[in-house]
A and B are shown apart, each in its own frame.
Chain A
Amino acid sequence: MEHAPVDIQGLSYTFGNNQPPALDDLSAVIRPGAVTGLVGPDGAGKTTLIRLMAALFLPGAGTISIFGLDTRTETTRLHRIIGYMPQKFGLYEDLSVMQNLRLYADLQGVTGAARQQVFQRLLAFTGLAPFQSRLAGRLSGGMKQKLGLACALIRKPRLLLLDEPSVGVDPVSRRELWRMVQELVNEEMAVIWSTAYLDEAEQCDEVLLLNEGRLIFSGPPQELTKRVTGRCFQIRNIAGNRRRVLANALQREEVQDGIVQGENVRIVLRAVSSLPDPAVLHAGPASQLVPVAPRFEDAFVDILGGGPGGTSVLAASMAQIEDYGQITVEAEGLTKRFGDFTAARDITFAIKRGEIFGLLGPNGAGKSTTFKMMCGLLRPSAGIGKVVGLDLQKAPGQARSRLGYMAQKFSLYGDLSARQNLEFFSGVYGLAGARQRETVGRMIDIFNLGPHLKVAAKELPLGFKQRLALSCAVMHEPAVLFLDEPTSGVDPLTRREFWTHINGLVERGVTVMVTTHFMDEAEYCDRIGLIYRGQMIATGTPDELKGRTESEQLPDPTLEDAFIELLHQWDDKNREAA
């Protein structure tokens, strides 16, 4: 019988003696000719499993065999048939695209005439041919990933391991990367694509779903989504506040999960037949419950036993933010030049009090530059950024004391304990004495940090890290909250909990500005600004943006479709103009 590309039997792996197992008694078989998604939130064990398959770690218990070769005993033979692309692929940033390819060809012993052929094929395949002499460090995130992929493909592996190839890559490049990988799969090559994005899971032929080191599902994704069939609905035509509708819905016994999707609210029911009464949701007379297709994420939450409730204790404990007038955040002609290069040009927008505003855009388009100028991390070359009416350049201290900031990688002090982090961040925002003690104590109660107070922040479980980071960002009761991909990679339950808090804070009058690649986060926004080639090319509600790109081919575009389509439209228009 032909050996399976990967055959895992009873695999366990632990990093330290006192640590919980990173992988716990895992068995699975991966079939050839398919893209197998290794899906799960950060810290689920995806990277560990991939490294075990690449024979970089040896199993603690159980076995892995790759095309019949045991990873314990046949490492050398095995490395010849595996292509492995780690999360941060080892590209040499100071070498050009071509030099990187040559280096990896040398390392893998691909020489002679065959080599030129391979290069031609890979450059054509990845679309990097025009950039051969560009330094790898100068490539965009998406192009780097493509070059990394090319380097992993030099030897035509039989098993291709891709560790989170789509992290930090914008939707456009993500689609291209995905299309490239689809082309590769055939009877001879098996591909494993690990991801924390659950929407990518749906496109895979097979899925291994990991959570906290356990395999909770393996098989085609459709099989998993089946379990929530008939239980997914969208509440449409909501009159009034959709965030409040979501909170109401989540309080109902029969609703197990819910999120905001543009103007609508998407809910998943506990059982097929028990629809909630629209009247108790206060969604308005015109509102209706429309059945929608189940998603992979719905099923994942279902396995985990449903989402968290819809009320935020955090928001309840916060005072109403005083009214600074209608506009809380304002950009007027913001421009940033780095030498000859204009990263952001004449960007103007205004965010109302209690509004969630999202900045979207491909990598390198000026999205982060704009975001950084708005929270005072970069000084604009021209234009003004204002927060609660204060110019960030003229009154930086005052303006900053009214804003809260939370970055993607939870910038906490890893060596400090949870309590020390709270004390530090409250201290730099000027809280002292009894008020500081009271605030820190309140945060500890709200987020149940009590049992973890003495643990170094870097050792906290991911969900608690997220809670701690959020509490550090809001202890001083900011009027504006800046979020930089706040929930990328976290599990769906933690993400829902986070957005419940954000929604609650918004109800209290907090204004939120978020930048993200993550369409699920973008759906929570009231308005989105799309930044491309240094300019704001479109603004509008998520549904308006979707509406603008509706066409015969795309009758019901997703936000990601809309995003890509708007970029294309802009490119076309400017090509004509030029």
Chain B
Amino acid sequence: MFSRIRALIVKELLAILRDKKSRFVLIVPPLIQLFVFSFAATQEAKNQTLAVLNLDEGKPALTLEQDFAAAATFSEVLHLRGAAEVKPVIDEQQAIAVLWIPEDFSRNIEHGRPAEVGFILDGRKTNTAGIVQGYAQRIVNNYQAGLAAGGQSAGAQLVVRNWFNPNLDFKWYTVPSLVCILTTLISLLVTSLSVAREREMGTFDQLLVSPLHPLEILVGKAVPALIIAMIEGTFMVLAAVFLMRVPLNGSLPLLYASMAVFLLAIIGVGLFISSLSMTQQQAILGAFVFMVPAIILSGFASPIENMPPWLQAITQGNPLRYFMTIVRGIFLKDISAALVWRQTWPMAIIAAVTLSTATWLFKKRME
């Protein structure tokens, strides 16, 4: 039995590695994606234009305006002359936001009365607007702190320190997440395409008439995919550490152990798709039907805590969610084995479910 499975595994690896195209597909696009996404999928707002409508000529108003202009977010500041210019400047997307300082701003400040400033954001760019709003809030807070200290430098000040990512470098956040997403993609594609490719070539019948048990065929498909995805994952981690300069603080054995469990869960899904699809096209479509929701529900783009409860419940079945937590934890903070285990056992259950469903379906489809 072992010699039969070994023959299957060797065949599968050779089939993938001897084919120039699939060799290319395995190596080049994931690396390109890692780079492109790391720089493009940043959640910082940079190089934005701010429009300022300052109707006040007092010093406090000027200070506030300067605080905004000095922020790294805004590379350019447009000065508006009247309220009539506010609408066109947003409409034509000349600026992401308008800072509107009313006439009585300085007077209110000087008299210790509550003072208001308007901040108009372009809601069409929801994400950027949200980030810019956060920055604006921070600038205003600092400004208030400055006022409260009465202009003295030694006053009470809020000191912010970001743990694990002191400079809030978003690459540190995106790169580990991308390591997860790209290994998912590779293992899913390798498994879901492999049976469909054999169906198209006619070799699958040849396997089915051999004395191989369906379970042996499945193991022969799962193990090579696991090996390839682990190697691929290693490449990603190396690229993250040495090319993208993301620190790796945690334990490598824990990373690999959890990666193996995670990949088994994904391979189960891949085998499930592949026993359903007759052609490679169907397999690719099937892979993306799983892939897209899995990424969205992984907490990569939006925090799971912000989702409605029923959706949060669904994310419990998403292996990517757990693995993402582990990888980020291992990269950015040295999380403990106990914490890793807390995220790993749900993946082990998911793997057991996906693999056994795939086996069941695979046997059923053979009839």
Contact = CB atoms under 8 A, between A and B. Distances in A.
Interface of A: 375-379, 396-398, 400-401, 403, 405, 407, 409, 411-417, 420, 423-432, 456, 482
Interface of B: 3-4, 6-8, 10-11, 14-15, 18-19, 201-203, 205-213, 366-367
- 10 nearest A-B residue pairs (beta carbon): A427-B7, A401-B211, A379-B367, A411-B202, A432-B3, A405-B209, A411-B206, A424-B11, A411-B203, A400-B211
B209 A400 contact: yes
A309 B353 CA distance: 58
28 contacts: A375-B209, A379-B367, A396-B211, A405-B205, A405-B206, A405-B209, A407-B202, A407-B206, A409-B202, A411-B202, A413-B11, A413-B14, A415-B19, A416-B14, A420-B11, A423-B10, A424-B8, A424-B10, A425-B210, A426-B7, A427-B8, A427-B10, A428-B4, A428-B8, A428-B211, A428-B212, A429-B210, A482-B209
Contacts of A431: 3
Contacts of B211: 396-398, 400-401, 428-430
Nearest to B21: A415
Contacts of B203: 411-413
A449 B367 CA distance: 37
Contacts of A429: 4, 210-211
Contacts of A432: 3
Contacts of B15: 413, 415-416
Nearest to B2: A432
Q: Which of B11, B207, B212, B367 has the most chain A CB within a 10 Å cutoff? A: B11
A401 B216 CA distance: 14
Contacts of A377: 205, 208-209
A403 B209 contact: yes
A428 B7 contact: yes
Contacts of B6: 427
A423 B11 CA distance: 9
A412 B15 CA distance: 11
B206 A430 contact: no
Contacts of A378: 367
Contacts of B19: 415
A431 B6 CA distance: 12
A400 B210 CA distance: 6
Contacts of B206: 405, 407, 411
Contacts of B367: 378-379
Contacts of A430: 3-4, 211
A397 B15 CA distance: 25
B308 to A, nearest CB: 38
A398 B213 CA distance: 10
B361 to A, nearest CB: 15
User: Taking chain B's interface residues, is the majority helix, strand, or loop, or is none over half, making it mixed?
Assistant: helix
A394 to B, nearest CB: 14
Nearest to B17: A415
Contacts of B3: 427, 430-432
Given A413-B15, A427-B3, 8 more contacts: A379-B367, A407-B202, A413-B14, A420-B11, A427-B7, A427-B11, A430-B4, A431-B3
Q: Which of B6, B206, B367 has the most chain A CB within a 10 Å cutoff? A: B206
A417 to B, nearest CB: 8
A446 B11 CA distance: 24
Contacts of B4: 427-430
Contacts of A375: 209
Q: Which of A400, A401, A428 has the most chain B CB within a 10 Å cutoff? A: A428
B111 to A, nearest CB: 77
Contacts of A428: 4, 7-8, 207, 210-212
A431 B211 CA distance: 12
A10 to B, nearest CB: 35
Q: Which of B7, B14, B213, B367 has the most chain A CB within a 10 Å cutoff? A: B7
Contacts of A405: 205-206, 209
A420 B11 CA distance: 8
A428 B9 CA distance: 11
A204 B76 CA distance: 81
A423 B18 CA distance: 16
A384 to B, nearest CB: 15
B209 A424 contact: no
B226 to A, nearest CB: 20
A423 B208 contact: no
Contacts of A416: 11, 14-15, 18
Nearest to A400: B211
A420 B10 CA distance: 9
Contacts of A396: 211
B18 A411 contact: no
B7 A397 contact: no
B7 A376 contact: no
Nearest to A399: B211
A511 to B, nearest CB: 15
A397 B203 CA distance: 18
A407 B206 CA distance: 8
